[in-house]
Amino acid sequence: MSALVKHSEERLLKVLLAPVISEKATMVAEKNEQVVFLVTPDATKPEIKAAVELLFKVQVESVQVANRQGKQKRTGRFTGRRNHTKRAFVCLKPGQEINFTEGA
């Protein structure tokens, strides 16, 4: 609970943007018992850990983050770029589980 004291609850509620549902995320979830989240670009590992524990009432073992560069896209003669994103790979302690399909 010491992690919750360091970070304000309001900030923790804004850190996680969405779960990532993809083939790779599903494969990682089954193989390594990890869950993948899209997080704010300025989020830190301790904040992500505290946010997951607060929102889903699970115990987190570790957090890895990956910064993804936005793809270059072109429309006619104009080029642009999608936004950069940050993903968090959250490893849960044995026996813990987050199920996103409940209530859907």
Can you read off the two tokens belonging to residue 53? 């524990």
| DSSP single-letter state for residue 7 | S
Contacts by 67-72, CB closer than 8 A, 24 or more apart: 67/41
* pLDDT tens over the chain, length 104 residues: 444 457 788 888 999 999 999 999 889 888 888 999 999 999 999 999 999 999 999 999 999 999 999 999 999 999 999 999 999 999 999 888 887 666 54
Q: In the CATH scheme, what architecture does the domain 2-71+81-92 have?
A: 2-Layer Sandwich (3.30)
C-alpha 87/C-alpha 16 separation (Å) is 10
Alpha helices in the chain (DSSP H): 2-6, 9-15, 23-32, 45-56
Report domain extents, the chain.
2-71+81-92
C-alpha 7/C-alpha 49 separation (Å) is 11
CA 53 vs. chain centroid, Å, equals 12
